[in-house]
């Protein structure tokens, strides 16, 4: 679907700004928003481009640079830290061969930190795309990554 049609499915209301940005980012296989996307949204909602840009840079779920097909967000808030998130970080970095903020050369994964995912009862936790995983250990992390690799 072309981007204009995608945007036009939303009411022309400024409180739809984040929802529209989400939709555009989700539709991009590299998981980011282009300058053209921002201009399109600004025009559609009759907002200054700077305001759209501010929203995109304020929320960590948006990116202005290309990322992997799957975004891995490892929780680095205190409860997950105490439950051993550091060992998950080591496993993720070793398994993926990248550091936080980087994308694997095959374009499959980007690794990021996030603050609390709201599932502290099953800490340590991470999220891949829209799926939350809890009660993790390094071995489970490797299994999960293998599943995504198999699925492509
Ligand atoms: S601190 Fe990690 S999910 Fe809440």
Identify the band that residue 126 occupies on the pLDDT scale cut at 50, 70 and 90: very high
What is the average pLDDT across 16-38?
A: 96
- Summarised one tens digit per residue, pLDDT across range 40-53 is 999 999 999 999 99
CA of 93 relative to ligand 1 center, distance in Å: 20
If one counts every other C-beta atom within 10 angstroms of the C-beta of residue 111, the result is: 24
What pTM was estimated for this model as a whole? 0.85
> Is a pLDDT exceeding 80 seen at residue 127?
yes
The pocket around ligand 1, CB under 6 angstroms, is made up of 75, 77, 79-80, 116-117, 119-120, 123, 125
The second-level CATH assignment, the architecture, of 70-151 is: 3-Layer(aba) Sandwich (3.40)
Nearest C-alpha neighbor of 67 from the set 29, 18, 114: 29
Whether the Cβ atoms of residue 24 and residue 37 lie closer than 8 Å to each other: yes
* Gap between the Cα atoms of 104 and 96, Å rounded: 7
CA of 11 relative to ligand 1 center, distance in Å: 34
Burial label, 23 (beta-carbon count in 10 A; 0-12, 13-18, 19+): middle
């Amino acid at each position: 679907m072309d981007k204009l049609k995608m945007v036009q499915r939303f009411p022309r209301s400024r409180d739809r700004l984040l929802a529209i940005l989400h939709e555009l980012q989700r539709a991009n296989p590299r998981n980011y928003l282009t300058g053209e996307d921002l201009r399109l949204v600004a025009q559609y909602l009759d907002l200054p481009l700077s305001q759209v840009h501010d929203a995109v840079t304020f929320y960590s779920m948006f990116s202005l640079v290309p990322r992997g097909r799957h975004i891995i967000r490892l929780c680095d808030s205190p409860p997950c830290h105490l439950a051993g998130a550091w060992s998950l970080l080591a496993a993720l970095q070793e398994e993926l061969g990248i550091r936080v903020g980087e994308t694997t050369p095959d374009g499959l994964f980007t690794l990021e930190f996030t603050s609390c995912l709201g599932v502290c009862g099953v800490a340590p936790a991470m999220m891949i795309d829209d799926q939350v995983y809890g009660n993790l250990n390094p071995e489970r992390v490797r299994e999960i990554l293998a599943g995504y690799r198999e699925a492509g």
